[in-house]
Structures are given as structure tokens and as C-alpha cells.
Copies of this chain bind each other. A is one copy, B any other.
Amino acid sequence: MYSIKELQEIISKEVEGLSLPVTPAELYEPIRYLMAIGGKRMRPVLTLMGCNLFSNEIEQAKIPALGLEVFHNFTLMHDDIMDNAPIRRGKETVHEKWNANVAILSGDVMLVKAYELMMQSPDKYLRPVLNIFNKTAAEVCEGQQIDMNFEQYKTVQVEEYVNMIALKTAVLLGASLQIGALLGNASETDAEHLYQFGKNLGIAFQLQDDILDVYGAPEKFGKQVGGDIIANKKTFLLIKALELADAETLISLERWLNTEVFISEQKVNAITGIYNQLNVKELAEAEMLRYVNLALGHLNQINIASERKQLLDEFANQLLVREH
């Protein structure tokens, strides 16, 4: 079996080899730009891992894996317009470097390209692969819409929040594994368990992200500590704090949420203090662990020798101990 590092190298080569027309430059240059600035290539690596779990031959999964990475980058290109984000992976976003129209249309053609790559699945798997891809692509759009809607809501329930992160992020991780499994000739049942492994792990990963934003060591996490707090982002921590706060704490919390002019450090310290008082970090960790266990339960049910599953175990651990 391939190591994670080997799979990452295979994907790097596939990304470098991605063939796109030269003109019109405004349409294809932004795709090359965004694809080249990197990222962890998590989705295509998962596809190859999913395939390799059931088959020693992974050649047939390389191009569809690339398709999933192109799809993911398409969602980034359009999400960045909608979120008005100036920077992605340390570089100017496409709509900043060019303009919003370029980012819209270049993103559109990227989605078409993603389908073209997904279609390079063997005949036998074409329809099942595209069915999963279609369903997932629609869900990712739904997740982004629900996330944008949350900005307008005063309160959000934990279940709504988990549903949103599942749609926006986790289902694509699950689908990447599932598509890889099918291309490795897994049974439908095993492929479905692998999907559930990826989806639940993705939810856990996102919950960890919420925790790390507040409690992560900045030098390891690579983001501004408290960024979510500063932006009033409705994370698991904030949702839970709003739910659990007594009258007095709620007044204090809402005062910080409604103050437009503030010193960032003071706001972060004050809200972190409330989180600590309400133990929401521990609640988030418990919820995260619940999803990790759900994921591992599905991995456990897959009908292959347990030594083949070690790499996914390792991957899950790599994902989930970024700060410890």
C-alpha cells in the first residue's frame, strides 16, 4: 500500500499535469493560478486512499481524484467572491487579482472541467461515481447557502450547525473516499461505510477547527487566534455558550457581540473567559470525540483485513491532533 506521502506526490504530479486550454486567458489562467497555490490536496489523497484500501492498482482513480480537487477549488473560487475574502492561502483571491466576473465565469468552467475529469472513470463505475459527485456537489452548495444564512440569524441550534458543516465540508471528504472505494472495486456497502467514516471525521475535524481557533497554539495553527470570535462567527463554541449562559452572562456576551468598535484582544479575552466559565471547550471536545468514534465505528465495519485500515487510522489521527 502507498504511504500518505507517496499519494500526495502522485497527486502533485496530477495537478501539475492538469491540461487546460490557453485562451481565453481570463478564463483559464485563474484556474491555473488557484490550483498552483496549493493546499493540502486532502480530497484527492482520500480518493486514492479509498481506492488503495481495496485495490493495489490505483491508476484508474488518479484522474477522478484530480476532478475532486478541481471541484474543491471551484467552490473556493466562488465562496471567496461571496465571502468577500481578499486572501486565500496567503495569495490574492481570484476576484481580487482579476475581478468578480472573471471569478464567476472561471469558476463555472472549473465545475465543467471537474465533471470532465470525473467522467474519466471506467464505464463500469461511471454512473455510480457521477451520482455521488452530483449529490455531493449540490450538498456543498446547500451548505454554503446555509452558512451565509446563519449570518442573518440571531441564534442557531447545534443540530443546524452540525448539518451545515456536514454539508459544506464533511460530505465532500466522505464522497472523495467513497468514489475512491468504488474505483477500487469495493462493494457498495463497504464504500458506504467509508463515506460515513469520511463524513463523520469531517464533522469532527470542523469542530476541532472551532476549538483551535480559540485554544490553538498560534504558531502551530497558522491562523489568528480568536479570528472567529472577532468576526462573531457562529461556531459550536458560541452557539453552545449562547444556549448555556445564565441571564447575566448572556447580557455580557451579547454586549460583546453587538459592539462594533472594540480592541480585538479584549474581545477575544472576554469571550474566551465566558467560554471557560461555561466549559464549552469540553463540550465541543466531547462532541468531536463522538463523531470520531462514529467514524471509527464505520471503518471497523468495512470488510477487509484490519492492517489495510491502518493508514486511515493514521490519517484520522494526523487530522485530529494538530495542536496537541
Chain B contacts for A18, CB-based, 8 A: none
**Nearest CB on B from A299, distance (A):** 29
For A130, what are the chain B residues with a Cβ–Cβ distance below 8 Å? 115, 119, 130
Interface residues in A92-132 by Cβ distance below 8 A to B read: 100-101, 104-105, 107-109, 111-113, 115-116, 119, 123, 126-127, 130-131
Q: Let me know if B126 and A112 touch, CB within 8 A.
A: no
Contact B112 A24 (CB under 8 A): no
Within 8 A of B (CB), among A140-154: 141-142, 144-146, 148-149
Q: How many copies does the complex hold?
A: 2
For residue A279, CB closer than 8 A to chain B, the reply is no
Contacting pair B109 A108 (CB below 8 A)? no
Min distance, Cβ A203 to any Cβ of chain B, angstroms: 19
Q: How far is the CA of A27 from the CA of B143 in the complex (A)?
A: 10
| A201 touches B (CB below 8 Å) | no
8 Å CB interface, A144-202 against B? 144-146, 148-149
> How many angstroms between the C-alpha atoms of A148 and B123 in the bound complex?
38
Q: What is the total number of residues of chain A having a CB less than 8 Å from a CB of chain B?
A: 35
**Interface assignment of A78: CB less than 8 Å from any CB of chain B:** yes
Given contacts A81-B104, A145-B24, A146-B24, contact A112 B127 (CB under 8 A): no
Question: Is the CB of A287 closer than 8 A to any CB of chain B?
Answer: no
Q: A101-B82, A134-B115 are in contact. Are A109 and B141 (CB under 8 A)?
A: yes
A119 to B115, CA, bound (A): 12
What residues of B have a CB within 8 angstroms of the CB of A105 in the complex? 78, 82, 141, 144-145, 148
Interface residues of A (CB under 8 A from B): 21, 24, 26-27, 78, 81-82, 100-101, 104-105, 107-109, 111-113, 115-116, 119, 123, 126-127, 130-131, 134, 137-138, 141-142, 144-146, 148-149
25 CB < 8 A contacts A-B: A24-B142, A24-B145, A26-B145, A26-B148, A27-B142, A27-B145, A78-B105, A78-B108, A82-B101, A82-B104, A104-B104, A105-B141, A107-B108, A109-B137, A109-B142, A111-B112, A112-B138, A113-B138, A115-B115, A115-B134, A116-B138, A119-B130, A119-B131, A119-B134, A130-B130
